């Protein structure tokens, strides 16, 4: 009788040990899958995945690769174009390793995947005003612009060409202060983004053209 009890205890311990071992493996697998799911789709501002910029475009006589980025999500969808690599309207900030496409408008949908251009501000001559996210989205292109210092270079590209600017202003402004995006006689570029934990403020970077 005693031997049976001892044998039962031994087998019970073995079974419990195996169950604990299996449970640990399952928990580790769950944590791995959870982290993978949480990180899925996140795009580091320094190393962006081109695929998130792929949008379906409508039929055109020209090649798909040459279609403008405004022709997206149309009724007749026959192909895809990577607006990250095909868009010639861009902003580059070498110090931050930023190379981002620009589209017209600063609505939520515009800023979801690109830097947005303030409608009404200049596109070439004058003050080019742009807005972008810095956190909480897949495309946080302006994530680190607050670290820019005077003299840092910003490059602005359009079909007309490329211009280089040097930072002269990096400061917080009231969200209602729009004077920094008003047009100017000289050529400059203005970057606007939110400021963490300060809803009533915006981060403003302004740079003037270097000739």
**Exposed, middle or buried: residue 206 (CB in 10 Å: 0-12, 13-18, 19+)?**
buried
Separation between Cα atoms, residue 9 and residue 80, nearest integer Å: 65
Supply 21's token pair.
């071992």
Separation between Cα atoms, residue 146 and residue 204, nearest integer Å: 8
CA distances from 56 to 13, 80, 90, 105, 177 (A): 59, 4, 20, 20, 38
Q: Point out the residues that are catalytic.
A: 133, 194
CA–centroid distance for 18 within its chain: 46
């Amino acid at each position: 009788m005693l031997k049976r009890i001892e044998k039962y205890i031994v087998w019970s311990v073995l079974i419990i040990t195996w169950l604990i071992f299996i449970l640990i493996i399952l928990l580790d697998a769950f944590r791995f899958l959870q982290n993978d799911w949480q990180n899925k789709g996140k795009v580091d501002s320094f190393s962006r995945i081109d695929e998130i910029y792929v949008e379906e475009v409508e039929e055109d006589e020209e090649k798909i690769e040459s279609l403008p980025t405004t022709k997206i999500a149309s009724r007749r969808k026959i192909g895809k174009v990577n607006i990250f690599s095909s868009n010639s309207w861009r902003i580059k900030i070498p110090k931050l390793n930023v190379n981002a496409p620009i589209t017209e408008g600063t609505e939520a949908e515009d800023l979801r995947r690109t830097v947005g251009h303030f409608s009404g501000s200049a596109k070439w001559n004058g003050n080019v005003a742009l807005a972008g996210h810095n956190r909480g989205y897949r495309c946080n292109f302006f994530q680190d612009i607050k670290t820019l210092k005077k003299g840092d270079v910003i490059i602005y590209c359009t079909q007309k060409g490329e211009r280089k600017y040097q930072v002269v202003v990096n400061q917080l402004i009231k969200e209602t202060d729009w004077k920094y995006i008003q047009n100017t006689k000289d050529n400059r570029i203005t970057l606007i983004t939110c400021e963490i934990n300060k809803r009533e403020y915006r981060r403003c970077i302004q740079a003037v053209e270097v000739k």
